[in-house]
Amino acid sequence: MARTATSPGAPKTALGKAALEVDDRLIVAGPLRRTLNKVFPDHWSFLLGEIALYSFIILLLTGTYLTFFFQAAMTEVTYEGSYAPLRGVEMSIAYASTLDLSFDVRGGLLIRQMHHWAALLFVASIVVHMLRIFFTGAFRRPRETNWLIGVALLVLALVEGMTGYTMPDDLLSGTGLRIISAIILSIPVIGTWAHWAVFGGDYVGELIVGRFYIVHVLLIPAILLGLIALHLLILVKQKHTQFPGPGRTEHNVVGNRLFPAFAGKATGLLLVVFGVVAALGGLVQINPVWLWGPYNPAQVSAASQPDWYVMFLDGSTRLFPAWDIYLPGNYNIPALFWPTLVLPGILFTLLLAYPMLERKLTGDTASHHLLQRPRDVPVRTSLGLMAITFYLVLLLSGGNDVIADKFDISLNAMTWVGRIGLIILPPIAYVITYRICLGLQQHDREVLEHGIETGVIRRLPHGEFIEVHQPLGPVDAHGHGQLAYGGAPVPKKMNQVGGARRAIRGFFSPIEEPTAVELEQRGEERGLASAETQRELTSSGRPAEGGRPAEGGRPAEGGRPSEGGRPQEPRD
């Protein structure tokens, strides 16, 4: 419905008129306002997933650029490019075009290295993001679907990375491809058939690089893109989780609106991620394929390791004992099958099923929007640490030859350390984590009950020494705090409850009057500055007498909330 220029509220500026024209046609004002008003909780750990998203954007941009130059074919050519040490060497066109885009395309090496760094960052940020989700219980109902999508994204990211670093057909990636071929062959019953289907024949054939290419640039990115969109859509629909804190409930989200605060910070993070990847891509060399040389099935270099995200499988392959299983009829299951296919299969299935397993075992089927602190769920936290320990042993074993070499340890000893460590370290990690969780829980309860240790030692008239405690809230007749634990961090230092003066702003020189800050503090009725003016050192400062010596005796019946007892802003 068009409006006349005189109707009230009609836009007068050119921009406003243009906006009206757009909204007359698309009717976007409502949805746009809802989007701009969406509230995002403010916590650094919620940015981890964003880092993954931003590295994916870098991957799409740089990857598209690389396809302008990369030729995914195994055709043999003689290299004639500008990298002199390899001139005249026979190599596949895949490797030759990788060299060309590194040495003969202006800025090509920067983009190639950015692509590789962004891939490492992509997987790393997915993993760290997933750990955050796991340890805070953010995967609980109603967010199981997004957990499943997240695990699928992780697996796809691994496959995407693996196909990516295989394509240049250098000596290192060729060695990796040879191992992939052996892994496919090791599948019981259908191994050789699967190999012939993937490679189009015996290893290595002409087809595999072209097939990996289309999988790497179209198939998996398309699925990744779709799943990421779904992941975000569900996130928007379900709204964010948040840590417990003042005013935060299961039925609200406290934080900043998308526009402008969150948009500003998120865009800032995007740019910083871009900047870090660009700097890494330029300054820190990665996968210098020209040093490895073209692939040759008869050659290999020491310390051939895959990218970090596949290294745990390399480790499991190194550690697994030489156990071929021979079956009647002269069939056998190769040892390689277990550490490379069965183990990741079990690991990812457990990861995928964890929310359902936990729901079954704890019987907790309620919807949760408030996060848990890891210490409050000791079993889950300990299981998580157990899994991390298992993973780290595998990861380190993936480079055990390098460790053996650098630290002058026997290689075989490293293998045995890995084999034994893989079995005994995770349970140890479980027990230790469990104890730490309980200890932290107890400390929280103790501070709530007895108050913060002030570090002030007081000598009583009859010679007894006691430490003065600052109660966090009202205390009962015995001086015990009455605040219940609310799942939020408990302040444990006087500075966290306003014990410290606010710092005077300014880096090299103060930009505000120190005296004005002092006055402001005194007026605030909190913190040491104001306490000093009111303090009358009369009582003992025992918890039983109200904790702090400032109040001039026992608190009134029921306990007047002391200044320290006001709810604290959660610290990020």
Question: In the range 297-316, which residues lie near another protein by CB under 8 A?
Answer: 297-304, 314
Query: Which DSSP string do the residues of 163-195 spell out, in sequence order?
Result: HHHHTT-BHHHHHHHHHHHHHHHTSTTTHHHHH
- Pick the closest to residue 277 from 46, 43, 100, 56 (CA basis): 56
Nearest distance in Å: CB 7, another protein: 6
Residue 190 identity (one-letter amino acid): I
Nearest distance in Å: CB 84, another protein: 5
Q: How far is CA 122 from CA 125, 240, 261, 325, 476, in A?
A: 5, 22, 25, 38, 53
> Could you say which residues in the range 429-488 bind another protein, by CB under 8 A?
none
Binding of residue 322 to another protein (CB under 8 A): yes
Among 26, 28, 279, 460, binds another protein (CB under 8 A): 279
Q: How far is CA 481 from CA 438, 541, 561, 569, in A?
A: 20, 14, 10, 19
Beta strands in 389-526 (DSSP E): 452-459, 465-470
Among 214, 346, 366, 411, binds another protein (CB under 8 A): 411
Among 137, 150, 161, 191, binds another protein (CB under 8 A): 191
Nearest distance in Å: CB 83, another protein: 6
Binding of residue 275 to another protein (CB under 8 A): yes
Among 63, 168, 245, 281, binds another protein (CB under 8 A): 281
Nearest distance in Å: CB 381, another protein: 26
CB atoms near residue 234 (< 10 Å): 14
Nearest distance in Å: CB 505, another protein: 7
- Separation of alpha carbons 66 and 74, rounded Å: 18
Among 222, 271, 420, 477, binds another protein (CB under 8 A): 271
Nearest distance in Å: CB 48, another protein: 16
Nearest distance in Å: CB 509, another protein: 10
Largest CA distance in the chain: 95
CB atoms near residue 181 (< 10 Å): 18
> Could you say which residues in the range 196-215 bind another protein, by CB under 8 A?
196-198, 200-204
CB atoms near residue 454 (< 10 Å): 17
CA angle 250, 251, 254 (to 5 degrees): 90
- 188/523 with CB nearer another protein: 188
Question: H/E/C letters for each residue in 40-88?
Answer: ECCCHHHHHHHHHHHHHHHHHHHHHHHHCCCCCCCCEEECCCCCHHHCC
- Separation of alpha carbons 184 and 340, rounded Å: 10
Question: How many amino acids of this chain bind another protein (CB under 8 A)?
Answer: 118
> Between 44 and 63, how does the x/- string for binding to another protein read (CB under 8 A)?
--------------------
SS3 528: helix
SS3 294: strand
Nearest distance in Å: CB 475, another protein: 29
Supply 370's token pair.
């408030």
> Between 328 and 367, how does the x/- string for binding to another protein read (CB under 8 A)?
-xxxxxxxx--x---------------------------x
> Could you say which residues in the range 227-266 bind another protein, by CB under 8 A?
239, 247, 250-257, 260-261, 264-265
> Could you say which residues in the range 96-115 bind another protein, by CB under 8 A?
103-104, 106-107, 109-110, 113-114
Nearest distance in Å: CB 262, another protein: 9
Q: Which stretch binds another protein (CB under 8 A): 33-41, 160-168, 222-230, 458-466?
A: 33-41
